[in-house]
Amino acid sequence: MTRLYDSQKRILVTGGAGFLGSHLCERLLGEGHDVLCLDNLFTGTKRNIAHLLGHPSFEFLRHDVTFPLFVEVDEIYNLACPASPVHYQHDPIQTTKTSVHGAINMLGLAKRLRAKILQASTSEIYGDPEVHPQTEEYWGRVNPIGPRSCYDEGKRCAETLFFDYRRQLGLSIKVARIFNTYGPRMHRADGRVVSNFIVQGLAGEPITLYGDGEQSRSFCYVDDLIDGFIRLMDSPDEVTGPINLGNPVEFTMRQLAEMVIAKVGGSSKLVHAPLPIDDPRQRQPNIDKARALLGWEPKVALADGLDRTIDYFRGT
């Protein structure tokens, strides 16, 4: 719908009260946009957006993306979906519905409005990968019927939908494959490794290393990731992705645990717990595409990002 009086860009962020969504809303408001934050508060909290609620260009809408949505916006960032394995496996059927019905509804909205739409996809598209580091051309190794499948296959189907809406209907789409991202506003009980280790370390409790701790991940600080999102949304129409966004510096979980213990200065010991089913052995993004097409690469080293995240958890 053509607007009569206002030149501010109106941007919808689904999952806007979550970890990444709340940082994205804050950043978009800071850039002068009008932000509609949508969330069903499954894993997100009002606390994450409490500081934004009084802002004249910010609006919160409690809504579930599996139901149709009729609003008027210029751009859509589709982040709604639980991201922690503990959360997405809590109600796996709802997880698939959120990814698939959510994508259909948001693409339908984008189609009606001719709005640009960005999908928060994931490195889980690659499953437990045989190609290392992972490039966007790699099709992945995903178990279609395991406990992680609701998330992995849901996100894969969402990517399919995005590309079919592009091919069939000419929509302007952007697909970001996000690798493990951490930072302030992860939930204390989120269950993901960085928040778990920090919360355990600060409390002087044992650090739970799943399996032998030799599996690897590559951790991106939230500010870097948000910068990548915005560059991708603002890129030329032909830049659709999928594009890897993550920090290519790889660590084992044992190294991460040792770093956290050294930083919090606590007395925590490492304890071993069973490795979750289908837990990927290794994960590291190849970010050549993001460098070339978006001029993007992460700036915050894990040591610095951990300091900021530890400060946050000390204060909560």
Per-residue string for binding with ligand UDP, 238-267, x by CB under 6 A?
---------------x--------------
Residues within window 203-232 making contact with ligand UDP, judged by CB under 6 A: 208-210, 215, 217
Q: Name which of ligand NAD, ligand UDP, none residue 17 binds, using a CB cut-off of 5 to 8 Å depending on partner kind.
A: ligand NAD
Nearer to ligand UDP, 25 or 194 (CB): 194
Q: 210 touches which of ligand UDP, ligand NAD, none (CB within 5 to 8 A by kind)? A: ligand UDP
| Three-class secondary structure assignment of the chain | CCCCCCCCCEEEEECCCCHHHHHHHHHHHHCCCEEEEEECCCCCCHHHHHHHCCCCCEEEEECCCCCCCCCCCCEEEECCCCCCHHHHCCCHHHHHHHHHHHHHHHHHHHHHHCCEEEEEEEHHHHECCCCCCECCCCCCECCCCCCCHHHHHHHHHHHHHHHHHHHHHCCCEEEEEECCEECCCCCCCCCCHHHHHHHHHHCCCCEEEECCCCCEEECEEHHHHHHHHHHHHCCCCCCCCCEEECCCCEEEHHHHHHHHHHHHCCCCCEEEECCCCCCCCCCCECCHHHHHHHCCCCCCCHHHHHHHHHHHHHCC
Establish whether 151 is a catalytic residue. yes
Nearest CB to ligand NAD, comparing residues 120 and 233:
120
Question: For residue 103, which of 157, 63, 150 has the smallest C-alpha distance?
Answer: 157
Residue 172 or 180 having the CB closest to ligand NAD: 180
Pick one of 81, 161, 193, 287: the residue that binds ligand UDP (CB under 6 A). 193
Identified catalytic residue from 151, 165, 182, 221: 151
Binding residues for ligand UDP restricted to 266-285, rule: CB under 6 A? 275-276, 279
Nearer residue to ligand NAD within complex by CB, 44 or 127:
44
The answer to the question of residue 105 lying near ligand UDP (CB under 6 A) is: yes
Site for ligand UDP in 45-64 (CB under 6 A): none
Tell me phi and psi for residue 96, to 5 degrees: -65, -40
Q: Which is nearer to ligand NAD, 44 or 268 (CB)?
A: 44
Cα gap 6→256, rounded to integer Å: 48
Counting Cβ atoms within 10 Å, is residue 277 exposed (0-12), middle (13-18) or buried (19+)?
exposed
The backbone torsions φ and ψ at residue 217, rounded to the nearest 5 degrees and listed phi first, read -145, 165
Name which of ligand NAD, ligand UDP, none residue 233 binds, using a CB cut-off of 5 to 8 Å depending on partner kind: none
What is the distance of C-alpha 107 from the center of its chain? 19
261 binds, among ligand UDP, ligand NAD, none (CB under 5 to 8 A by kind): none
Between 109 and 158, name the residue whose CB sits nearer to ligand UDP.
109
* Residue 70 site contact among ligand UDP, ligand NAD, none (CB < 5 to 8 Å, cut-off depends on kind): ligand UDP
Instruction: Identify which range of 39-47, 103-111, 152-160, 286-294 contacts ligand UDP by CB under 6 A.
Output: 103-111
The minimum distance between CB 287 and ligand NAD, in angstroms, equals: 14
Residue ranges in contact with ligand NAD by CB under 6 A: 14-15, 17-21, 39-44, 64-66, 79-83, 87, 98, 102, 120, 122, 178, 180-181
The residues of the shown chain that bind ligand UDP, judged by CB under 6 A, are: 68-70, 84-85, 104-105, 108-109, 111-112, 180, 192-193, 196, 208-210, 215, 217, 253, 275-276, 279
